[in-house]
Amino acid sequence: MNGIKKTIPLLLGAALAIGGVSAYAEGKISIAQQFGISYLIFDVIKDQKLIEKHGKKDGIDIEVVWRQLSGATAMNEALLANNLDIVSAGVPPALVLWDRTLGKQNVKAVATLGSLPNYLVTNNPNVKSIKDLSEKDRIATPAAGVGFQSRTLQIETAKIYGKDDLKRFDKITVSLPHSDAAAALISGGLDVNAHFASAPFYYQELAGNPAVHKILSSYDVLGGPHTFNIAYTTQKFHDENPKTYKALFAAFGEAAEWIRNNKDKAADVYIRQQQSKLSPKLVAEMIADPENDFTIVPQRVKKFADELHNIGVIKNKGDSWKDYFFEEAHVLEGS
């Protein structure tokens, strides 16, 4: 594809911010993941050294550097600054970067990290649906107005109140880390009484306070199971590192299959790799939950993109889910 920007010079400050790691040539790869059970596929890839394994099969030794960052903004900035090769975030931030780099860096998805719902929960007994939310309520999300949870709520709000009023609930939404929001809902303290949460947080909230109840699932908004997080990279990295990329994609497939066949062992991997303090019982419960599918197959990504286009978040619109993914993923039965 045309218009790919030349590598942006590495800025010292940016390098220090993420540990001084820059994007590498063939045979080396830097990857960043965020926190939580939705990144289990990455945990397995790292734990079992699957990228290195598949590289050796193709006659190449691959050095893999792992980083953990919080938030899509940091991910996207690091990718565009050429400080990371592979980053990961929710579908909306990934699609926004696809949209903004079209014809330039041409950012696309490598594979999905699974289909997992997010729940909007509240401890306000008077709120049974989003129609009951008032100016007295406060909804916590990690990135108010722009993150996965806010964009999903905007999509649902536009359906009910129209596109002109899609940001109706932005004024009662506050940015708060998932862990802090969960603590607030369980204790009943602070002004925050609602939380659009990913796993494990909504599990903890529903179990920790009998007043907490679900008022919306992201699966309801998109019409069924959908991809939550995506791993993505630039056209430049994809094209200039064919063997490394091939090993990466093979690692995704093997990790997903291994999780499907070893759910109990997968819980141990998650706790070990994330150094998690969650109980093994809860982690095993999340992995076994039929709503959570740790698959690399895109689900309703095209639907998500269409909805984001409809509400004006992205300007461009693909004809197929495949337009948002590099060709290696096109063999999958995605949507």
**Superfamily covering domain 12-115+226-331:** Periplasmic binding protein-like II (3.40.190.10)
Fold match between domain 12-115+226-331 and domain 119-222 = yes
Indicate if the pLDDT at residue 200 is higher than 60.
yes
Amino acid sitting at position 144: A
Q: Tell me what pLDDT residue 298 has.
A: 98
In tens, the pLDDT along 97-139 reads 999 999 999 999 999 999 999 999 999 999 999 999 999 999 9
For 185-201, give one letter per residue: b (16+ CB within 10 A) or e. Answer: bbeeeeebbbbbbbbbb
Topology of the domain covering 119-222: D-Maltodextrin-Binding Protein; domain 2 (3.40.190)
Q: Tell me what pLDDT residue 77 has.
A: 92
Q: Tell me what pLDDT residue 189 has.
A: 74
Helix (H, G, I), strand (E, B) or coil at 301: helix
- The whole-number average pLDDT for the span 78-105 is 95
Cis peptide before 200 (omega within 30 of 0): yes
Q: Tell me what pLDDT residue 67 has.
A: 94
Indicate if the pLDDT at residue 14 is higher than 80.
no
Q: Where are the domains of the chain?
A: 12-115+226-331, 119-222
**Residue 182 and residue 188: Cα distance in Å, rounded?**
10
pTM reported for the whole predicted model: 0.88
Chain centre to alpha carbon of residue 211: 28
Indicate if the pLDDT at residue 2 is higher than 90.
no
In tens, the pLDDT along 34-76 reads 888 999 999 999 999 999 999 999 999 999 999 988 778 888 9
DSSP-derived letter for residue 237 is H
Percentage of the residues of the chain whose pLDDT score is greater than 70: 93
DSSP-derived letter for residue 311 is T
Q: Tell me what pLDDT residue 11 has.
A: 33
- The whole-number average pLDDT for the span 221-249 is 97
In tens, the pLDDT along 266-322 reads 999 999 999 999 999 999 999 999 999 999 999 999 999 999 999 999 999 999 999
Mean pLDDT of the chain: 91
For 215-237, give one letter per residue: b (16+ CB within 10 A) or e. Answer: bbbbbebbeebbbbbbbbbbbbb
